Amino acid sequence: MNVYHRVTSLAKQKKISISSLEKSADLPNGTIYNWKNSKPNIDYVSRVAGVLNTTVDYLVGRTNTPNSDSESSPVDILDDETILAFDGMEIEESEKEKLRDYARYIISLREKENK
């Protein structure tokens, strides 16, 4: 999937027309359509990524994750389905339990301070 297809697909998902996307990204009319057969200007791709709330890496195909919502979506470490990792290495279950115990301890300290 090239940049053109990723942009048009994501815009369609977000119910944004290509012409309004171009306006919002301050691009000349027809710019995105031209990406169908030519390489886009990286500055333009960056602008489009900003409007679509995604990353340049996604639009150029370096990743298959359309957005980086990880910073806005808290992860509950008490959830057994959550995969925890540190420095690129998955944390073993016994280590996860130690982290959970420490988190519980920190929360209890915070609650005592707020009383």
Does residue 115 carry a pLDDT above 90? Answer: no
Q: Which percentage of the chain shows pLDDT scores above 70?
A: 88
The encoded tokens of residue 114 equal 């707020």
Phi, psi of 81 (to 5 degrees): -80, -15
pLDDT 10s digits, 8-42: 999 999 999 999 999 999 999 999 999 999 999 99
Residue-level pLDDT at 47: 94
Distance CA 37, CA 34 (A): 6
Instruction: Band the pLDDT of 81: cuts 50, 70, 90.
Output: low
Average pLDDT, the chain: 86
Strand ranges for 1-115 from DSSP E: 85-86, 89-90
Distance CA 58, CA 8 (A): 13
pLDDT 10s digits, 42-53: 999 999 999 999
Buried b (16+ CB within 10 A) or exposed e, 36-62: eeeebeeebbebbbebbebbbebbbee
From 11-20, 56-65, 73-82, the region with the lowest mean pLDDT: 73-82
